[in-house]
Amino acid sequence: MHKQLFNPGSSAVPGDSQKIIFPSPRSIENYARMQTTLSSDLRSFTLCVHMRSTMSTSDTMVLVSYARASSQDNELLLFFSRGFMLHINQHDNNYMADPPVWDGEWHTICTTWRSSDGAWQLYADGVLTASGSGLRVGGAVRTGGVFILGQEQDTLGGGFDVNQTFSGELSGVNLWDRVLSPAEIGAGWAVFCNHHGNVIDWDTTDIAVFGETSMTEYQCSK
């Protein structure tokens, strides 16, 4: 299987980053692996992703998958199935919202969660589109797992299903160990383009891409 290793912050153009291109048609060979893991358990987090796609809202697709073992494959999972959904330790909130982000333009999706009351939120382009509570109360996203972009792991680092494969472009995948405020999430690209997670910082994390997946320059602006 073809593999390439990149640093998303290594663009030759100052201020520019990199994006991952997941081609069509969908294939289980096409994915990216972030060369990092969690150094401590997360009892709250904010996960943000820049995305661009023209996939149908009737499709199922995975943006970010974090698994610890084959029996813990949905330790943290952000995916879309007629709406965005969030899994924590195999538990899910079933449905968050279906914002209009499948138009071939760049959008920013952010989701938050905290263990104390299971409160979760979904932001699309800085707008709070859904929120709730009771998701995996008292739980934690645990250390030592594998981060995959564009596929869902049914086994550690693999076990992909073509019907859950993402097709489009991803960038700006950042993870924090706390719930960001609305101002920190931002309401425009001036803020979105300057996200730097304290757990995963897109601009400093090495990424391996596989299959026909590729990385190229990303000029972060709407």
Checking if the pLDDT of 222 tops 70, the result is no
Checking if the pLDDT of 114 tops 50, the result is yes
pTM for the whole structure: 0.94
- The CATH number of residue 73's host domain is 2.60.120.200
Which range marks the domain in which residue 78 is found? 3-218
Cα 61 to Cα 158: distance, rounded to the nearest angstrom: 15
Backbone angles phi, psi at 6, to 5 degrees: -135, 155
Checking if the pLDDT of 11 tops 70, the result is no
Cα 33 to Cα 144: distance, rounded to the nearest angstrom: 14
pLDDT in tens, 13-67: 444 689 999 999 999 999 999 999 999 999 999 999 999 999 999 999 999 999 9
Question: 211: burial class by Cβ within 10 Å (0-12, 13-18, 19+)?
Answer: middle
Helices (H), the chain: 182-185, 189-192
pLDDT in tens, 146-178: 999 999 999 999 999 999 999 999 999 999 999
Q: How many domains does the chain have?
A: 1
Question: 110: burial class by Cβ within 10 Å (0-12, 13-18, 19+)?
Answer: buried
Beta bridge pairs of residue 130: 122
